[in-house]
Chains A and B, each alone.
Chain A
Amino acid sequence: QSALTQPASVSGSPGQSITISCTGTSSDIGVYNFVSWYQQHPGKGPKLMLYDVSKRPSGVSNRFSGSKSGNTASLTISGLLAEDEGDYYCCSYAGSTTWLFGGGTKLTVL
């Protein structure tokens, strides 16, 4: 099993929208709708932002949305704010009671 593939970095200006991709295979993202996304700020534990591809936990802004097409899941953040800056990780169920995470994407708000 290999880690899910994410771009190393993305950037955007305040108010803009950005999308982070997460590419897996037909054995994980392609077959299961159990994709979740996590935000991590320096020195902190990750925070759940989306689960089951596109569901938002209570308290997470509706500026965060998720989707999936084939073997690739995506996280979109609209109306970028400075506080959105940080690292983002995707995760997918990979069958046989195993889970895979992505390598992480550093979001910079310019």
Chain B
Amino acid sequence: QLQLQESGPGLVKPSETLSLTCTVSGDSISGTSINWAWIRQPPGKGLEWIGTIYYSGNAYYNPSLQSRVTISVDTSKNQISLRVSSVTAADTAVYYCATHMNTVATDWFDPWGQGTLVTVSS
């Protein structure tokens, strides 16, 4: 069973770039057909899909964030990364990584990490 753990700075200044890492344990992600997603949750609010990177390397992003977001995979480190540029207070949230099963026949996000809180403030 895969386990995911998010990590990164808990505080980021406005206009700077938020960088987070999701470390996968339980199996190597190299050579697998697993897709990975980042999802966030502002304090007291609902979930928001940020983006998904497929095992093919193609990545798709929420249109509202597309110009500022990059998701990448480092198979040598068993990690998935998220970068959000030009952050504002609206980017303050708990950030989750998750595996994303998405085929023509099925679709779901599971498992998820515990999440990491990122606060944007000067």
Chain A interface residues toward B at CB < 8 A = 1, 3, 6, 34, 36, 38, 43-48, 51-52, 55, 57, 89, 91, 93, 97-104
| B98 CB to nearest A CB, Å | 8
What is the 8 Å Cβ interface bit string for chain B, positions 101-122, against chain A (1 contact, 0 not)? 0100011111111110000000
B contact residues around A46 at 8 Å (CB): 47, 96, 98, 109, 112
Chain A CB within 10 Å, residue with most, of B46, B98, B111: B46
What is the predominant secondary structure among interface residues of chain B facing chain A? strand
Leading 7 A-B pairs by shortest Cβ distance? A48-B110, A45-B112, A51-B108, A103-B46, A34-B107, A101-B47, A97-B60
Number of interface residues, chain B, beta carbon within 8 A: 24
B47–A47 CB distance below 8 A: no
A contact residues around B48 at 8 Å (CB): 3, 101
